[in-house]
Structure 1
Amino acid sequence: MNNSRLSQFSKTPTFSSSIKTLLKSSSVNLFLIFVPFGIVSKFAIWSDTTIFFLNFLALIPLTWLLYYVTKEISLNAASSVEWWLCNVFGNFGNLVEFITYTLMLHDGLVSVVQASIFGSILSDLLSVYGYSCFHGGSFYKEMKFNIFAGQTYTSFLMLIVSVIIIPTAYSATIINSDERTELDISRKMSIILLFIYIIYIYFRSQNHNKYYKGQSKAKSKTTLYVTIPVLILLTTIVTICANSLSKSIVGLAESWNISTKFIGLILIPNVGNASDYLNSIAHVRKNKMELSLDTSIGSSIRITSGIAPILVIIGWLINQPLTLYFEAFDMCMLLFSVWIVNYCLQDGRSNWLQGSMLLSSYAIIGTAIFFYPDKN
């Protein structure tokens, strides 16, 4: 009896073992070497290009660690806290995006924030999900998932896209539409989107065990005495690096002669989605495609119906005219992306060919955006 107690006690995570677990959680943590340079760049007289890419590389491991730490906290926390962390906040997987976009909005980069929101949706739908299908295809000839889960995702996506289309359709059909009216419509639509997000959270919590049978509660490898202070520290560092990245965007666009739309739609979203890439890959290697869907497409739903409307409301409070109005070209890309993902989810199966289709679609969109000029 005493030996079993000693054995159980010896398996309890310590401070040093918790730190080692966090640092060894992924090989992407090697990029932590860029974090000190990213912080220093705020005070150094470096070019905007250097500042942008130092903080870009620094945010990649920080995004992963923020997700991993929050997941560990949820494993140690009470069931109610775990529910909030997993269902409402998505294990803080989108926190880096939210912080970055809020800081850009504060700096007046409204068009870049719009492009980044849009880019995050496309990245999750086409790039993250596409790569998980392609990567999983190298391990399994075919991967199956719950067809009802796939249909649920596509139904929510179509509903959300329908709501987002309305401000664009209004502006296109009303000849004398003014920006003030578009802003009012977007703010009202944001409240509706948040209501849809609440419905999605409730439905997901009620049907999680039914749709995601492959997920079992793991045992935490860390202690709360380490993870909670680390979470606070990571959030602070992310804010510093995201702030420096935000302030270097315009200078990068001017020095490289590229549009801020390309930076916002392609570059920045892939920083925030770093944890989604790693998480999806881990799931497909274990042939748990439902969980990969939850990571990629679930994240796009959180961004569209959760983060985007909250940012519109924040812009309302700080007097920044962020709207849900997107150009016709943007809406064509979104409809195309949702359509092709819907096609891939119809039969409850995935393979490397579908992944190739989705990744190719993302590359096509990225190429078109690279040559897309800024309005100004």
Structure 2
Amino acid sequence: MTEVPTRTSLRPRRTATTSSNAEGTGGSRTRFSLSRAATSMFKPEKKVGKAPGVLASIRSIIMASWLNLLLVFIPISWAFNFAAKDQHTLVFVFSFLAIIPLAKLLAFATDELSMRVGQTLAGLLNATLGNAYPTHIQIIALTQCQLSVVQSSLIGSILSNLLLVLGMCFFAGGVKFSEQGFGASATQLNSSLLTISVIAVLLPTAFRFSVTAQSDPDSMNDILKASHGVALILLFIYGSYLFFQLYSHATLYGDQSGDVIKSTKYTPRPKKAKHGEPADANGNLAITDAENAQEEEEEEVPQLSLYMTLGLLAVVTVIVAVTAEWLVDSIDGLTSTGKISKEFVGIILLPIVGNAAEHVTAVSVSVKDKLTLSLGVAVGSSIQIALFVIPFIVTLAWIMGKPLTLMFDPFESVALFLAVITVNYVVQDGKSNWLEGMILMCLYIILATTFFFYPGQTSPFTC
């Protein structure tokens, strides 16, 4: 019996990567291509230096920002929450001040993580951690049968990420860079996913206004059943999106994607070349190719080790969730005066507070020309809310016997539709500047002003 050499068994896999239409090797080639695509997203954009030790990492966390001085407000806010529960204003102020340094630390840890795993995966992780707290609050509100608060906070989170966070990223990056580039193909696909979620929200509302109680006496029950079915379809779409992003087309979302336009800085004023320095035809100081190559190959030196980075992410996420819960409880006391409506709290205040960590992360890394990470946090978080959190909450309400549907407030649904359309127009060219960021922020301010005077509508569904 002749033994088959090991080298022969490896030959088809090796030729599958070089030959285009080799017979009998198509399956191997496909598996190898998918494997390369799946691992490419873990490749950082620049070379990463040696990680520091434990003591150096702790020192870096302490000295990360002067905002760490505000960490003293964490125990103060907790003390006021337990000792003086009737002082809602003090609890709100101290809790808000405590969340600011925590958000900065979360941005610092996310930036460190992006050096090792790439901007796409870091953005997905940050969006997931950031949405964990709002989802927790929405589940609590669902158990208390506050259906309108749940729905308005979900819409508000998407509006906050798409308009305020993304606008601040474009504006902050546009101050330093004349134009910043990002993956246009992946961004357009994300816009399509958001459009699907908007359709899922608008259709039940259109159904309600198209069918009268006389033509269909059981129309409300039909909307509830349709919402359950659509929620399961949206969950399937989100699972397919994760497979597409993390495995089959990971290179499309990677830092080295071929359609990413290189960012350009503002043209500096020319400096006159001194004696012995390279000069151009006009006698101005010229930058040599060697200097450009050295700038491109400059490696990033991490300030935290990998385990310290993951530990910081976990600890900060837990503290933010607890502190923000005290803040939300104090907001309920503020709305009892009648000066601020629950609709404004759910649409504007609650998402800003709940997503504060994501806001700081996205804006901080956009200044460092990591716009892929910023989009992963802002747009990725919106997709996660639209395609996962909303259908998950609807499905959970179905299990709990709560009549939560995809029929949102009509005015809130129209505002979401206009926001998605505006963002789609802004990102379609694959480039950003400060003016586009200002447009998105101004649209958010317009919506916030309108929602401040909007009284809201009473939901036809009650527990």
Are residue 213 (structure 1) and residue 255 (structure 2) matched? yes
Residue 40 (structure 1) aligned to one of 79, 82, 100: 79
Given that residues 204 and 223 in structure 2 are in contact (C-alpha distance below 8 angstroms), is that contact kept between their aligned partners in structure 1? yes
More helix as a share of residues? 1
Given that residues 104 and 246 in structure 1 are in contact (C-alpha distance below 8 angstroms), is that contact kept between their aligned partners in structure 2? no
Given that residues 181 and 431 in structure 2 are in contact (C-alpha distance below 8 angstroms), is that contact kept between their aligned partners in structure 1? yes
Are residue 361 (structure 1) and residue 403 (structure 2) matched? no
Alpha-carbon shift at residue 126 of structure 1 (Å): 0.8
1:315 maps to 397
2:173 maps to 136
Q: Secondary structure at the match of 2:422?
A: helix
Identity rate of aligned residues, in percent? Answer: 36
Q: Secondary structure at the match of 2:82?
A: coil
Residue 275 (structure 1) aligned to one of 344, 354, 357: 357
1:96 and 1:218 map into 2 onto residues whose CA distance is: 31
Q: Secondary structure at the match of 1:141?
A: strand
Alpha-carbon shift at residue 285 of structure 1 (Å): 2.0
Unaligned runs of 5+ in 1: 1-10
Residue 18 (structure 1) aligned to one of 17, 42, 57: 57
2:319 and 2:89 map into 1 onto residues whose CA distance is: 20
**Which amino acid letter does the alignment assign opposite residue 92 of structure 1?**
L
2:310 and 2:324 map into 1 onto residues whose CA distance is: 21
Instruction: Say if 1:241 and 1:285 are closer, same or farther in 2 by CA, change over 3 A.
Output: closer
After the TM superposition, which residues 1-376 of structure 1 pair with which residues of structure 2 at under 5 Å, given as runs?
Answer: 13-45=52-84, 46-66=86-106, 69=109, 87=124, 90=127, 92-176=129-213, 179-205=220-246, 206-213=248-255, 221-223=303-305, 233-255=315-337, 257-375=339-457
Given that residues 194 and 306 in structure 1 are in contact (C-alpha distance below 8 angstroms), is that contact kept between their aligned partners in structure 2? yes
CA deviations 1:259-281 (Å, max 9, x no partner) are 11111111111123323322322
CA deviations 1:324-358 (Å, max 9, x no partner) are 22122112111111111111112222111111211
Q: Secondary structure at the match of 1:142?
A: strand
Alpha-carbon shift at residue 305 of structure 1 (Å): 0.8
Unaligned runs of 5+ in 2: 1-49, 258-296, 459-463
Alpha-carbon shift at residue 67 of structure 1 (Å): 6.2
1:5 maps to none
Alpha-carbon shift at residue 65 of structure 1 (Å): 4.0
Alpha-carbon shift at residue 58 of structure 1 (Å): 2.9
Given that residues 110 and 361 in structure 2 are in contact (C-alpha distance below 8 angstroms), is that contact kept between their aligned partners in structure 1? no
The structure with the largest alpha-carbon Rg is: 2
Q: Secondary structure at the match of 1:248?
A: helix
**Bigger shift: 66-75 or 14-23?**
66-75
**Which amino acid letter does the alignment assign opposite residue 225 of structure 2?**
D
Give the TM-score normalised by the residue count of structure 2: 0.68
Alpha-carbon shift at residue 165 of structure 1 (Å): 1.8
**What is the number of equivalent residue pairs in this alignment?**
362
2:234 and 2:134 map into 1 onto residues whose CA distance is: 18
Q: Secondary structure at the match of 1:338?
A: helix
Given that residues 119 and 265 in structure 1 are in contact (C-alpha distance below 8 angstroms), is that contact kept between their aligned partners in structure 2? yes
Instruction: Say if 1:181 and 1:218 are closer, same or farther in 2 by CA, change over 3 A.
Output: farther
Alpha-carbon shift at residue 226 of structure 1 (Å): 5.1
Q: Secondary structure at the match of 1:255?
A: coil
1:283 and 1:233 map into 2 onto residues whose CA distance is: 21
1:186 and 1:331 map into 2 onto residues whose CA distance is: 15
Alpha-carbon shift at residue 144 of structure 1 (Å): 2.4
1:128 and 1:254 map into 2 onto residues whose CA distance is: 29
Instruction: Say if 1:89 and 1:202 are closer, same or farther in 2 by CA, change over 3 A.
Output: farther
2:37 maps to none
2:106 and 2:139 map into 1 onto residues whose CA distance is: 17
2:231 and 2:194 map into 1 onto residues whose CA distance is: 15
Q: Secondary structure at the match of 1:121?
A: helix
**Which amino acid letter does the alignment assign opposite residue 185 of structure 1?**
A
